Structure 1
């Protein structure tokens, strides 16, 4: 039941109107295909409708299957990553800078990631242990799921522990 709920919560996070497939699988956007495959298989065993009779497990299984379909195909994944990264740059207020150089700089520290409050759009940097966790925004005090945006803004708050 917890896995089912987690997939549905992760599917609420949309990037440019699309599902965040990495979030649905509970993986980092930089994960290798082999790690994505291992995670998909683990979740498929937990959520397969023949094995899991929990309400909503079949829908969660369809979501992880769709995520795996997109992320296992290198052409689809590359296209999805480009759309995802471009949107992250626009959401961060990027007015025309080279998103790929900014993206590389923001990920030079592998122990942290950038996320954004879905209510007030303020961006924060958190330790990786908080990816896909429910966090409270310091600005509006709203609750949001910490989904990696991938791009560091020019000026942002950086709480290390929520």
Structure 2
């Protein structure tokens, strides 16, 4: 156990019991894994506590949701929780090869496969055309919900070994993702 973890346990022992201590250790592990550099990249697998490399999309999403739910509980009470949520989202985007973008007209945010980077898209909120440019990590939403349709669409787009989806498959994926986002907003 690192000194930092011992300090967390010592400082907060008895405040909210083991759940609070576990939350602090989880947040610490997220930050520590983000700082570990492997092959010039942060340890994204470590951030999401993934053991198997490469992990399946389902494993990545399951670990993301599990960690996100745990850290979200302490979001307003624990220093560093907000930053840990952003790191988790960054890890999810890196491992699923996706990015966040937003419509410049209505500021509605979207989550897309990297195949859509710098492509002209139609905003499902206001109907305007916009170019899907990735936004920085500082501008990521702090909460991300991915329903089953989005997981299926990402799986389909990542199943092509060359990373090139056919136009028909891209349109189907796009429709599934748009449908899923519409359901989330209701």
**Greater helix percent: which structure?**
2
TM-score range normalised by the length of the shorter chain = 0.3 to 0.5
**TM-score w.r.t. length of structure 2:** 0.37
Highest RCO, 1 vs 2 (Cα 8 Å, sep ≥ 6): 1
